[in-house]
Amino acid sequence: MIINYRTKDGQADYRFSFVNRLNGEWRAYILSQPSYGSRATDAHSTHRLTTALGRKYVCWDRPIYSQDELRGVVALWSDRTQDYIRYGIPI
């Protein structure tokens, strides 16, 4: 399932692939997002993890078991990422 999200400030679009894993957990793979520019792009700074195949996904502090909850997570992550890109405010 492909999900598009426009940030609250209306300045950026993010695109995700929502995938339900075998254990019932939902994961949001990042298909597109704005460049980080001069900001750090490491996993800790961006709250992104990378699979063995190189796919980036949103890092969250616990498993997510519903699409609705995942929609909220990607909205928050996208808006916080936008603040990080524009102002350097940590995610």
pLDDT tens for each residue of 21-39: 999 999 999 999 999 999 9
Which strands form 56-58's sheet, in the order they lie side by side?
2-6, 13-20, 26-32, 56-58, 48-50
Retrieve residue 12's tokens.
Answer: 């950026």
pTM score above 0.85: yes
At 90 the pLDDT is 84
* Ranges of the chain with pLDDT below 50: none
Domain positions in the chain: 2-87
Strands (E), the chain: 2-6, 13-20, 26-32, 48-50, 56-58
